[in-house]
Amino acid sequence: MAARAIGSLTLSFGLVSIPVKLYTATQSASAISFNLLHKADGSRLKQQYICLKDGAVVDRDDIAKGYEFAKDQYVMFTPEEIKALEEVGTHAVEISEFVPIDSVDPVYFDKTYYTAPDKGAGKPYALLTEALKETGRCAVGRWAVRGKAYIVLLRPVGDVLTMQQLHFATDVRPASEIEVPKPEVKAGELKLARQLIDAQTAERFDPTSFKDDVRERIRAAIDRKVEGQAITVSEEPVESGGKVIDLMEALRASLEKTTARAPASRLGPRKEPKRVEEAKRVEPAAKPARKTGRR
């Protein structure tokens, strides 16, 4: 089934304008959601808003928005006042700069869209896409829609220009806020860890090799319920964490397990066991021999 455009906008840099169609890159339809039901008769429940002061049910027409500036103190805004504060939609992305793609930390990535050239825009669209590929850069600009302003990043994926919505810097917590201890890493441990990484390294990330097992399990349970079958729930023991382990032994065991099950195409003609044997011989430096007086 062909993708359907959700809108259109114009990409502009310099004096060049490129009308494009916009498509969502992800599908929320595949997500499984549950509704709230009344246990007694299985009917749907309706959400209501209750006034905390008098306990009365409040109709939507009597609801206003407010901001809590102090404990239980609010300033109220009318819909007209909020509308006046919103960003005016431009239906255009004004490219302000081009930056190396690897200079953008993925922590800033938010929602992703696909774009495709609109009528008569095939040539400039292809030109911008190829130029970004050759330079290894991406385009950064601003986009206003639904009353909000966004930073967006345009990057080529094959022949398609994707538009990545970004978080503002104020929305991202700096990693420096997280306290991480810095224990000593021994040379032998580092060597084994690197060998384990090498043994599990693929040429590139393949998202199709991962499955959403939880969604498939829920879908199967729903099908059984619809067919009138009972579902047996078994309590599986949960392993508790916090076990004290020998790091070197854990790394060696992990490397042995990984190399034993790795496909031949990844490791080659069984050369990896030799690396495992070499890893086994990695021991802490021996203490110097005690002098006995003999020569």
Q: What CATH number is associated with residue 109?
A: 2.40.290.10
The pLDDT value recorded for residue 29 is 59
The reply to whether 204 falls in a domain is no
The reply to whether 48 falls in a domain is no
* 142 and 251 together in one domain: no
pLDDT digits (tens, 9 = 90+) for 221-248: 888 888 888 877 776 655 555 554 677 7
Task: Residue 132: give the domain boundaries.
Answer: 7-25+86-171
- Is the pLDDT confidence value at 278 over 80? no
- Is the pLDDT confidence value at 287 over 70? no
The pLDDT value recorded for residue 277 is 40
* 131 and 255 together in one domain: no
* 188 and 96 together in one domain: no
- Decide which of 274 and 66 is more confident: 66
Tell me the average pLDDT across 80-104.
88
The pLDDT value recorded for residue 271 is 43
* pLDDT interval class at 262 (50, 70, 90): low
- Decide which of 282 and 171 is more confident: 171
* 118 and 190 together in one domain: no
Nearby residues of 248 by Cβ (< 8 Å), 6 or more positions away: 188, 189, 192, 282
The reply to whether 146 falls in a domain is yes
pTM: 0.69
- Is the pLDDT confidence value at 286 over 60? no
Counting residues of the chain whose pLDDT is more than 90, the rounded percentage is: 42
Total count of domains within the chain: 2
The reply to whether 257 falls in a domain is yes
The pLDDT value recorded for residue 284 is 44
The reply to whether 223 falls in a domain is no
* 20 and 102 together in one domain: yes
* 150 and 263 together in one domain: no
